[in-house]
Structure 1
Amino acid sequence: MSSVTPEPSGKLTVAFFKCDSLEKESIEKHGEYQDVLHNLFEPLLPEHLKLETLTYDVLEKREYPKDEELDRIDAIVISGSFEDEAHSDTRWILKLAGYLIKIYDEHPRIRILGICFGLQVIARAFGPSRIQQNPKGWEVGSTRVDLTDIGRKIIWHDGEGEHNMQQIHSDIVTEVPPDFELLGKSEICPVQGIVAFYPEDRDPPAFTHSHAHTLPSHPEWHEDILIPFIDNYEKDGTFDAEFAEKARKQSKAAHDGERVGRILLRVLGVA
């Protein structure tokens, strides 16, 4: 088991597990998934710390870090995905879930961060936790999230009870896996983030001691990335014109993505 923390290197190394691609309109402006995440984190880091993003295509190539790479990786980030539902038994999803269990058990120094689909596949891996299509429909654009007590302590130290996050998903996690805590919920989504703390931190554990942290939202996204998805869903009939227009408006509303970006960096003890 790799449990020894390496000496500080002046570098934060994130392994980005790419589970899909952005729309081509977004890629032309902002780069791929991993570039958008890098651009969220990098400006928030202390000056002495550099960000290294290693990208692994776990969808098409089913590629993962080699064992010798794990000693220098500080965190794994699982991206969103529209390729398959997280409850599907496709080979790439089964391999991803198994790999996350291995990292969690054998390399506890490495934090695990899940975004949107990343939340769902982590809930599946560490369940049993049912993933299903939301009977209340899609959640798109900047959405109010009502935080639990733990969520408020993590995200707002001044007692705020809600925040707003960019969303685009129709699947939901229906229950919190064992050993995880609920961070919040929205009007139509019962699980808006879960967190697992290291077992030695009990009452309450410090946030920088959390082992896995997940969100159904996209702190790294803004309207330029969301709107092409909305436009294409309207073109293919997934969204009707009325819903698509409402979603575009919601995507332009204020959100707390930068604040949550800082929180995710605090998982790694660097911000």
Structure 2
Amino acid sequence: MSTQQLEVDTAPGRPVVRMMVLETDKPHPETESRRGTFGEILHHHFAKAGDDHDPPLGIETDTRYVITEKGGTMPKAHEFDNCEALLITGSVYDAHGNDPWILDLLALLKELWLKHPNMHFSGVCFGHQLLCRFLGSEIASAAPTDWELGHCKINLSPLGQKLFQTDTPEVHLHQMHQDYVVAPPTVESSGDLLAPGTKVEAWGHSDHTKVQGIYIKGRVFTTQAHLAFDEGMVKRQIQMRVDGGSIKDLEHADRAAETAEMDHDGDVAAAAILRFFHDEPIE
């Protein structure tokens, strides 16, 4: 079933960011019963970031579940006419795969990219990888036993420190991926989607993954890590992948689950992406 729900978090006089979330997976049933779909979870996460922003920002979130083979619906480009921002969620699917809905989503991204030159694109995990693929990056798979899981340190570049508005050289976020972006896209790899001279930067790296996210001024800000995961979500999502057979190193999975309760910088990441959506300058 396709989710087409508009959620609004505004107050009189607040500027409003209008975001479309494309859901490319469904959370664990217990997570969904407690916190909602991935789109709803992200909405509330960004709403908190909007409340904490100075001055406060409102957030309107429209969601679409887009896996058409499982009852979803791929939206049409005109449905984004009033959106400043698009975010693609994480997924158990491979961003380098060629499932029909993935190819349809890539086609939609191209149409939106060309039709809406001021739209801001973001993605989490699968969404990060798919946007990089869209712009010509190679997406590869690590060994089945080589997942980046749980609470992880991400080393920030000077750009990353500016984006996250921190003087510290690192942030900590929850990870859950085997696939990774080999290198950031380039003007040449994008097939004319990026104008000559466009600067594409990786804002951070970890010991496991060289590209933890990319940034293109006014266009793209992605993150390999999950900014909205809480302790219960981390444990349940790991268990889903263990039960499904994709995570094969059970000791690694257990160690990662034990880190689920550790403090992380998801609120800092949400605030950074919200500022990007609001088209605020980097200082």
TM-score normalised per structure 2: 0.81
Q: Which amino acid aligns with 2:214?
A: I
Match of residue 181 from structure 1: 201
Q: Per the alignment, in what secondary structure is the counterpart of residue 114 of structure 1?
A: strand
Which of 78, 81, 91 is 1:81 aligned to? 91
Please give the secondary structure, in 2, of the residue aligned with 1:54: strand
Q: Does 1:71 align with 2:81?
A: yes
Give, in whole Å, the separation in 2 of the partners of 1:66 and 1:101. Answer: 10
Aligned to 1:221: 229
Point out 4+ residue stretches in structure 1 off by more than 6 angstroms: none
Q: Does 1:250 align with 2:259?
A: yes
- TM-score norm. by structure 1 comes to 0.85
Task: Describe the shift of the 1:236–1:99 C-alpha distance in structure 2 as closer, same or farther (beyond 3 A).
Answer: closer
1:33 equivalent to 2:42? Answer no
Deviations 1:137-156 (A, max 9, x none): 11111110011221122113
CA distance 1:134–1:259, change in 2 (3 Å): same
Residue 101 of structure 1: CA displacement? 2.2
Q: Give the secondary-structure state (helix, strand or coil) at the position aligned to 1:188.
A: coil
Q: Which residue of 1 aligns with 2:142?
A: 134
Q: Distance in 2 between matches of 1:156 and 1:51?
A: 21
1:11-30 to structure 2, matched below 5 A, reads 11-30=16-35
Matches of 2:241 and 2:108 in 1, distance apart? Answer: 32
Aligned pairs, number: 248
Deviates more, 1:174-183 or 1:56-65: 56-65
1:18-167 correspondence runs (5 A): 18-46=23-51, 49-60=57-68, 61-67=72-78, 69-82=79-92, 84-127=93-136, 129-135=137-143, 137-158=146-167, 160-167=168-175
SS at match of 2:81: helix
State the identity %. 28
Q: For residue 267 of structure 1, what is the aligned residue in structure 2?
A: 276
Unaligned runs of 5+ in 1: 1-7, 198-209
For the residues of structure 1 that align with 2:164 and 2:266, how far apart are their CA atoms? Answer: 11
Backbone CA RMSD of aligned residues: 2.1
